[in-house]
Structure 1
Amino acid sequence: MKENKDYIRDIAEIRSMMERSSKFLSLSGWAGIMAGLYALAGAYVAYTFLSFNPDKIIYSLPSAGLAAGLGNIILLATIVLLLAIGTAVFLSVRKAAKRGEKLWNAITKRLLINMAVPLIVGGLLALILIAKGLVGLLAPVTLLFYGLALFNAGNFTYREVQSLGLIQIGLGLISTYYVEYGLLCWALGFGIIHIVYGIYMHYRYET
């Protein structure tokens, strides 16, 4: 009986070692929580102070000029993105150090490459939409391509990331059909869902 238990323990340890060598496991649940909080704050500022809430595909901001209004929205989105990325990198570095692992390795490179393609394409498409005045499609496009990036990333990290990606894709499709709820879906996907996901990941893998 004792030998069987030893075999089971050895198999579990081997499986854990193989998973660490083939998966990026330094992603912190707190990164998801903080990204969600940043997104909610950004959506609040966009709606309350910049009067940004597209209710149709071709949308003109009611503030001081379309160009100036879009410039503020782009600046706000950039700040939210940089805060989210910076926090994720900082927390991942700290988690990797605690685990005695290197953050930058072959798996990290593959993860970033698979995420980069849909993110870059989505970002370029968003710029094209802005140039064409199709502002109402910004929220759906960012949700859809971010969801695709997460789904790809799920092959190289926790499987739950793929589920998160599918949720984002679903919200992107819904907000494409119901354009008037685009900002709400964006806040739900990038904000609330991220926070719930981060809490789940923290208590499952980090406590």
Structure 2
Amino acid sequence: MNQQQDQLADLHEIRKIMDRSSRFISLSGLSGVAAGVSALLGAAVVKWYLVSHNINYNQSLGLNLTRDAILFLVAVAGLVFILAFCSATYFTARNAKKNSYRVWDSKTERMLVNLFIPLAAGGAFCAILVYHDLLYLVAPVMLIFYGCALLNASKYTLSDIRYLGILEIILGLVASFFVGYGLLAWTVGFGVLHIVYGVLVYYKYER
């Protein structure tokens, strides 16, 4: 019995070593929580702006937004992205230091390349939608491309991120049909789902 337990322990250790050699496993669950909180704050600011300017998202679907309103929404989205990226960098670096892992190596590079290619494509496509005044599709498209980016990067980091990506894609597709709820879908996808994912990852790997 003890011999079997020792063999299982050895296999578990070998698997951990293989994961460290092929995957970027320092990604912190707290970075997901921080990203989700940033998104909720951004959504609250956008909601405040729409209400203060008497803009009903469900009715206008973005068609009646002025140039100033569009620039404001873009600025908020950019700020949310910067806050999420900075918090992810901080918490991941802290987690790597805690476990004596390297923050930057070939695994990190592969993960980031596979993450940012779909993100860049999605950002360009969103810019095209804005150019053609199809603003009501921006939120669903952001969710779909972000989900694709997570799926693409999941091969090089924690496999749990794959499920987050699938949920983001599904939510984006649903929001594509119910375009009047794009802001709500964006809030759930980038806010609530990130927080839930971050908490689960934290308790699974970091406690």
Give the alignment's TM-score, normalised by structure 2: 0.94
Q: Which residue of 2 aligns with 1:29?
A: 29
Amino acid at match of 2:12: A
Which residue in 1 is equivalent to 2:117? 117
Sequence identity, in percent? 40
Return 126-135 or 84-93, whichever deviates more.
Answer: 126-135
Cα distance in 1 for residues equivalent to 2:15 and 2:56: 48
> 2:50–2:57: 8 Å Cα contact kept in structure 1?
no
SS in 1 for 2:108: helix
In the alignment, structure 1 residue 146 sits paired with structure 2 residue 146: yes
Please give the alpha-carbon distance, in whole angstroms, between the structure 2 residues aligned to 1:124 and 1:78. Answer: 14
Q: Is residue 133 of structure 2 the alignment partner of residue 133 of structure 1?
A: yes
Question: Gapped runs of 5+ residues in structure 2?
Answer: none
Structure 1 CA distance for aligned equivalents of residues 56 and 25 of structure 2? 37
> Aligned partners of 1:7 and 1:164: how far apart in 2?
33
Alpha-carbon distance between aligned partners in 1 of 2:4 and 2:129, rounded to the nearest angstrom: 61
SS at match of 1:21: helix
Whole-angstrom distance in 2 between the partners of 1:58 and 1:27: 36
Cα deviation, 1:85-110, whole Å, max 9, x if unaligned, reads 00000111111111111111111111
Q: Which residue of 2 aligns with 1:156?
A: 156
Q: Report the AA paired with residue 125 of structure 2.
A: L
Quick check: 1:87 aligned with 2:91? no
Task: Name the structure 2 match of 1:182.
Answer: 182
Aligned-partner Cα distance in 2 for 1:33–1:8: 34
How far apart in 2 are the matches of 1:58 and 1:78? 18
Aligned residue-pair number: 203
Whether 1:77 and 2:81 are equivalent positions in the alignment is: no
Measured against aligned partners, the alpha-carbon deviations of 1:138-193 in whole angstroms (never above 9, x if no partner) come to 10010000000001111111111111000000010011000001110110010111
Q: Where do residues 93-108 of structure 1 align in structure 2 (5 Å cutoff)? A: 93-108=93-108
Counterpart CA distance in 2 for 1:183 and 1:167 is 16
2: CA distance, partners of 1:146 / 1:107: 20
Q: 1:121 to 1:78 in 2, by over 3 A?
A: same
Larger relative helix fraction = 2
Q: What does residue 64 of structure 2 align with?
A: 60
Decide which moves more: 153-162 or 88-97. Answer: 153-162
CA RMSD of aligned residues (A): 1.4
Q: CA deviation at 1:54?
A: 3.5
Look up the match of 1:45: 45
Contact 1:36 1:195 in 2 (8 A): yes
Q: Is the 8 A contact 1:47 1:53 kept in 2?
A: no
In 2 relative to 1, CA 58–40 (structure 1 residues): closer, same or farther, beyond 3 Å?
closer
Task: Report if aligned partners of 1:54, 1:179 keep a CA contact under 8 Å in 2.
Answer: no
Whether the 8 Å CA contact 1:27–1:92 is kept in 2: the answer is yes
TM-score by length of 1: 0.94
**Alpha-carbon distance, 1:60 to partner:** 1.6
